[in-house]
Each structure stands twice: as C-alpha cells, then as structure tokens.
Amino acid sequence: MTPFNLTQFYADWATILPECFLLLWACVITGAAVMGRTDESKSGTFAIWTIIGTLATAVWVAVTQDGAAFGGTFVFDRLAVVFKEIILAGVILTAAASVGTVSRLRAHRGEYYGMILFSAVGMMLMVSATELLTLYIALELSTVTLFVLAAYHKTNRKSAEAGLKYVILGGISSAILLYGVAILYGLTGTTELAKISQEIQRQFMGSGSFPPGLALALLLILAGFGFKLALAPFHMWAPDVYEGAPTPITAFLSVASKAAALAAFLRVFFVGGQPAQLIWIQAIAALAALAMIVGNATAIVQTNIKRMLAYSSVAQIGYMLVGAVALDPWGATSISYYAMAYLFANMGAFVCVIAFAERTGSEEISDFSGLSRRSPILAGFFALFLLSLAGVPPTAGFLAKYYVFAAAIQKGYLWLVLVGVATSVVALYYYATVIMKMYFPSEQTEGGFPVARTLTIVLAVSALGVLLLGIIPGPVVDWIKAAAQSFVPPT
C-alpha cells in the first residue's frame, strides 16, 4: 500500500478532469430535465456548450498533464487525445444535428442530451483505459445509454424494436468480452494491459507455443469487440438498430461509439495482446476481409438509405482493420486517420439523411431521385460524403484507404489489400447509384425544400473536415503518427 500523496492525488484528478466536467454537466442537464426545469432548446444549447467546455478542458489537460494516473489504470497519452477529439467532435455534431429530431419528441426532450453526454463520458474514459476493468465499465457506460437512446422514439415500433435488438446483442457481446477478460486475468494474474503483455511474453514466448486458453481468451475478446464495432460476422444487429434508432443516434452510434471501441481495441491488441500476435493477427485479417465482402455485397441490395449506410459502415470497419494487421505505429496511424476521415464522411451522410427525412418523411433510396433539382445544396453535400466513403480523391476517404492498404502491404498482406481494392469498386457502384439517382433522375420530381440552419452548419463542418483532411493531410497525419509512436511498443 503506497502512502497517500497529495501531489499525486491532484495529478490523478487533473488527468481525469475533462470526464469529471462532462459528467457533472450531464447530471445537471438530466436532473434539470427530469424535474422539468428546462425546455429542450436550452438543454441542447447547454449540451453543446458543455462539450465545448470539455474540449477546452481536454486541451488544457493535454498541455499540462502527461501520462498515467490512478496507478496506471487511466492514461492521458497522445492516442487518448486524438481519439477524445474525434469523439467530442462526433458528440458535438450529433447534438447539433439532433435539434429537429428532439423537437418532434413528445416527452423527455431534455434527457436526450443528458444521455448523449453520459455516453460521451463512457467513450472518453474508454479511450484512456489501460486496465481491463476500467475499460469494461467505460464501455458499459457508453453502451447502456445508447440502448436507451436507440429506443428513444417511444411511439415508433421500429425504434422500440431497435432498442430490444441492441440491448440483447449488446448484453451478449458484453458477456463474451468479459469471459475473455476473465480467462486472460486467470492466465496472467493481472488486468493491466502492460503487465498482461509482459506476462504473456514471460510465460509463453520461450516455449514457442501458445496454450489454447490464451487463444480462447483473445478470440473471445476479439468477438466482443467485433460486436461493438459491428464487424462481420458479428454485425447482424447493426442494420436493424441503425434503421430503427433516431437518425442522429444512428450517426452517433456509427461514428463516436465506433471510434471509442476502436481506440480500446488498439490498446488491448497492440499493447496487451502484442506478444501473442500469432494468435490473433490472422483472425483479424480474415474478419476484415469478411467485413469488406459481406458489408459491401449486402449494401448493394438495400432500398432504405439508413440500412445501406449501416452495411457500408460494416465494410468501413473492415477497411480500418486492414491497418491493424500491420501492428506497427504506421498501422495505428492509418487506423486513427481512417477513423477521423470516417467521422466526418459518415456523420455528414447521416445528417443529409436527417435533413432529407425532415422535409420528405422518407428514408427510401428511390425517393432521393432528382434531389439535385429539389435541394442542390443537400445533393451536393450528400454526393461529397458518399464519394469520401467510397474513397474517391481528393476526399479524406481516398487517403484513408490508401494509408491502411499501404500499411498492410508493407507487412506482406497483399491478398487482403486485393480484397480491399476489389470491394472498393463494388462500394463505388452503390454509392454512385445514389449519386446518379440524385443528379440524373429517370422522371422529374417537384417540390424544392430548404435545409434547417443548424443542419447546414453541421453539413458544412463535416464537408470542411472531409476536404481539409483529404487535401492537406500532412499536419494531421504527423500529429496522429506521433501519438501512435508513443503508444505502440517497438517490435
């Protein structure tokens, strides 16, 4: 037992300050809403200011504090900074995009923002957790609130159904993940990732063979993460939940929650599981290939735009994990860059769906026909985001795909890259079909409509992100690369 040390105490709490700040205001917003003290527009504005405040606090912590806190269970390193910025950007765009959706809810409007903030606290803790219990609790905090949010349209059957499917699959995935964690703990006697890595090195590297228990543990953890990331073949819940949940929540799920799970994945496998890479690296390559094939092939036949984007995001996760097979700083950099590019493109695409559905009440792909006449701005934005998801230059999506493929080729995974390139062509087909429908309709549809102001701002910010990341990636890549080098152990 180490004696109490006041300086250490302050340093620990200073490191976790952004989360504390966010948690406090999440409680205030939820509490005020429960007691009926606020109207929803105030809650929304308040939530956005809270996130801006959290961002500022996070920047302050990043500048003044460094390294591990709470006995090494929580770390505020450069990787955490990168992913916290991604998550907070996702949260702020989600909150801004929710304004219209929330105003149409019959009740519990203020709590909606509170739930989003609670979920954000969980995600932020998750990217900083370097210990499996902390990671698990953070993961649960972010997903349990997302269960609530998925079922938030109480009067809508689809939303309730999305909630039920998500809560069941989420529970199963947590149990599977936790079983893996328990076995890993049994084998190594610790839950701290750095020590797990040392233990695996010490116990098993000398013998040259790995015990089946270790393989089981790592594969169970991989399956658990597979559920959270909606990676094929663990993606069955994603299309239903994405379709049924309120669209801003779908965007939030597909962007922020995935970014957080990805960061946790990087920590668990690049740090903790790194000495046992022989076990899991082939599994990840196979899952990535499967996700790219299944996601893209199923997306082609979808008629609902949210379902199409759901399957496309299954494929996108496959592309991100192509970078994971490299298992070096460059691989981690490519994944993080991809997550950032994906944040803006996918968020933008879903906000386009929100803007379209708000005016037309439809989410069918066929109804997008002739959108370029009805709302040129919306059609332009949507085309840009779809092209970025497809990976067409000069958007961020192109460079992101290039980086992950380059990282995999360096390690000799040519077959995986070939699968990736082939499926990208398939992906381009269904994204381009939507764009063709918008710009070259078979019959004319009438009725122009404007886009709500807040949504236009969100769209503009996302478009700016997609283009800036695509045209001048240098500073961002350098920033992420420094982060990746600081946490991936040298091989």
Q: Which residues bind another protein (CB under 8 A)?
A: 132-133, 136-137, 140, 144, 147-148, 151, 154, 157-158, 160-164, 167-168, 170-172, 174-176, 178-179, 181-183, 185-186, 189-191, 236, 239-240, 243-244
Give me the least distance between CB of 163 and another protein, in Å please.
4
Nearest to 261 by CA among 249, 273, 253: 253
Task: List the structure tokens of 102.
Answer: 């929330």
Q: In the beta sheet, which residues pair with residue 304?
A: 364
Question: What tokens does 90 get?
Answer: 């996702």
Q: How far is the CB of 141 from another protein (least distance, A)?
A: 9
Q: Looking at beta carbons only, is 191 or 197 nearer to another protein?
A: 191
CB of 16 or CB of 245, closer to another protein: 245
Distance of closest approach, residue 164 Cβ to another protein, in angstroms: 5
Instruction: Tell me how crowded residue 203 is: count the other CB atoms within 10 A of its CB.
Output: 16
Q: How far is the CB of 490 from another protein (least distance, A)?
A: 29
Q: How far is the CB of 225 from another protein (least distance, A)?
A: 16
182 versus 409: smaller Cβ distance to another protein: 182
- Please report how close the Cβ of residue 357 comes to another protein at its closest, in angstroms: 16
Q: List C-alpha distances in Å: 473 to 400, 470, 478.
A: 10, 6, 9
Which structure tokens are listed for 488?
Answer: 């991936």
Whether the CB-CB separation of 343 and 395 falls below 8 Å is answered with no
Q: Report the C-alpha gap between 241 and 467 in whole angstroms.
A: 30
Pick 19 or 243: Cβ nearer another protein: 243
Using only C-alpha atoms, the chain has a radius of gyration, in whole angstroms, of 22
Q: Work out the number of other CB atoms within 10 angstroms of the CB of residue 281.
A: 18
Alpha carbon distances (Å) from 90 to 31, 135, 207, 292: 24, 20, 45, 24
> Closer to another protein at the Cβ: 195 or 411?
195
Indicate the residue among 45 and 156 with the shorter CB distance to another protein: 156
Q: How far is the CB of 142 from another protein (least distance, A)?
A: 12
Indicate the SS3 state at residue 74: strand
Which helix (H) or strand (E) segment holds residue 69: the answer is: strand 67-69
Closer residue to another protein (CB): 89 or 167 = 167
d(CA 460, CA 392): 19
Cβ 154 to another protein shortest distance, Å: 6
Q: Is residue 10 helix, strand or coil?
A: helix
The DSSP output letter for 325 is G
Q: Looking up tokens 């790592």, which residue turns up?
A: 218
Q: How many beta carbons lie within 10 A of that of residue 34, not counting itself?
A: 12
Distance from C-alpha of 415 to C-alpha of 289, rounded to nearest angstrom: 9
Least Å distance, CB 243 to another protein, is 6
Cβ closest to another protein, residue 19 vs residue 192 = 192
Q: What is the DSSP letter of 489?
A: P
Closer CB to another protein, 145 or 274, in the complex: 145
Between 178 and 266, name the residue whose CB sits nearer to another protein: 178
Residues 6+ apart with CB under 8 A from 487: 77, 78, 79, 266, 267, 270, 271, 332
Nearer to another protein, 66 or 161 (CB): 161
To another protein, the closest distance from the beta carbon of 6 in angstroms equals: 25
Report CA-CA distances (Å) from 29 to 24, 116, 124. 9, 11, 19
Provide, rounded to whole angstroms, the least separation between the CB of residue 178 and another protein: 5
